[in-house]
Structure 1
Amino acid sequence: GELPKPLQPKLLRVLQEQEIRRMRGTKQIPVKVRVLAATNIDLTEAVAAGRFRRDLYERLKPLHIQLPALRERREDIPALAQYFLKKENNASNQKVVNINPEVLSLFDAYSWPGNIRELEGVIGRAVLLAEEGEILPSHLPSDVRMPQTHALPLADATAVANPNVSEYLVLPFPMGTTLKEIEKSAILTTLARENGNKSKTAAVLGISRVTLDTKLHTYNGEA
């Protein structure tokens, strides 16, 4: 659905003529393939808006399968989570054997705007943090762990009531603290808690290892 407009006629030609030509080549090569295409955009809308060729759409359309969003088939989440758990264990040589029932309840309550890819990413992060045993709520990103909460404004070490969760959140930064200072404190505190393990620190904070290294380099320059 996001194939650039100049490339769309090239794909259409392959589907129609069943031939390809190698880059810088001059000879047409016959191919016999079956194309499986997927998109998360509305192609009928894209065709109407002129972003996607109608003739290519008709070529791809004969067997059309509408796959509901993950939030519309929550009964599949436990099986998918177990599949991704096994996959991540094999990929990272970890031994996380179980997903806590409370985690599955949180998964069921979450809206999953990123669909299956987001679920896979959440499981991958949790496996890295859990190392062994089982995935617990503490191993999940905050937006999955607390899907109904909202960010609160900075306060002067004041307990602020959050009506959505019926509990109190203490914000430990004094009035006037900059976002940069808060970010630095969060990164260095997490790094210390993870015993200097940068990979775990990046996973907990939800940032890439490259971003973490860049920020730590900046902090060292400020010292």
Structure 2
Amino acid sequence: MRLQSISENAIMMTLPYTPDLSPYLIAFKQHLDNRSFIFETVIGYCTITVYFDPLRVTHQEMIRIITAASEQIQANHLDSTLHHIPVCYDNAYGMDIEHVMKKRQLSLQKVIDLHTTPTYNVSFLGFSPGFPFLTGMDQELTTPRKDNPRLEIPKGSVGIAGGQTGIYPSTSPGGWQIIGRTPIHLLPLNDDGPTLFAPGDQIKFYPINKIEYEQLQKEERIKYGN
């Protein structure tokens, strides 16, 4: 474990990455979040950053609290939500699926089967609001990011970058290999929270065709007004 002060009110803890590290970090976050002098805790793949009130607790006191917690926390079973997410893998939505097929020497059906078989874990929400970084992808699909990122990736695009997969919640630039698209709205901004997913949740993809995609997209637009 390594602790690093990154500002006057933030300390980052870094741990060696293992596939089962995410539940530990989530349990660690839950343990610290109930303390009134902590503003926020932010999870990464192998880090957790603690933002605290420096007027109420010093850096050294915060380091002692984090160190003590790291020795107490156990990665308990998480009561996570399982989301079933439809994806259309048609070329119209999977801009890079043929590239992945050629790169990995796989048929279209094999790519779909490999991508929809696992149950993925939401390790954390990343570079844009609500973007889930998902672990658990079959390594037969491992494909490097694009050499030249696109300036615009459509909302709902499902991509691969290295050994991970994820979903673009909104239209944005990006360099992931896009293999499909979901019509599901990932930023509901409702009473349950601003994002559909949370760290610790699980995701299961299932394939749909273009007609099913368009119908679900209409339903989502009626539901959310966009």
Q: TM-score range by the shorter chain?
A: under 0.3
Q: Higher relative contact order at CA 8 Å, sep ≥6: structure 1 or structure 2?
A: 2
* Greater helix content: 1
TM-score of the aligned structures, taking structure 1 as reference length: 0.22
Larger Rg: 1
* Greater strand content: 2
